[in-house]
Structure 1
Amino acid sequence: MKALTDKIIESLQSRYDAVIFNEKTENEFSSIAFKEGLHVAIEEIKALEKECCFEEAARVLMKHLNNPLKYHPHYTAVVNSTSAELLESQFFTGKVLDYVD
């Protein structure tokens, strides 16, 4: 499975590759401009992904978890550098400080 940004880049790249130039058409200039716009968008997405901070990356996951058609508010995601886990809370005690010294 690929990351969301990788899927976006692939989608734009396939559109970029699909633009066909025909010198006899009136739309050659608009095809060139469209293709150049896609190229700029692809490069910008790559740059933004490299430069994003932790909060920006986390917000993508938070936005996804807030989709009520897929998840309810009791889901928690635990992510590290090699795996991700989706947990559903069945029971929660709240914060218990009785045993903390």
Structure 2
Amino acid sequence: MAKIELTDHYIKRLSVDVRTDIADAREPGLTLRITPSGSKSWAVRCRSADGTSQRVTLGQYPDISLKDARSRAALAKADIRATEGNLNQVRREAA
């Protein structure tokens, strides 16, 4: 996975032939997933307290801006690190 310091200009002009994840160099764990159809979504990758690797989706670009995605990623990483096991599963069980 490529690490790039993302900018709005760069994100807007991105297009791919296969689904691609790009890691933000400025906010560790933040990734932008781009599909061939042009869909772009934010996610954060991190390990929970017990070492479980996780990917939590934050939302779609441009609904969530780059600046907002970086802020949400920092909060999501704190939630993930405080969780034993998979955060998505913990949230489903609590609902």
Please report the TM-score for the alignment, with normalisation by the length of structure 1.
Answer: 0.26
Which one has the largest radius of gyration? Answer: 1
Higher strand share: 2
- Asked which structure has the greater RCO (Cα within 8 Å, sep 6+), the reply is 2
> Which protein is richer in helix relative to its size?
1
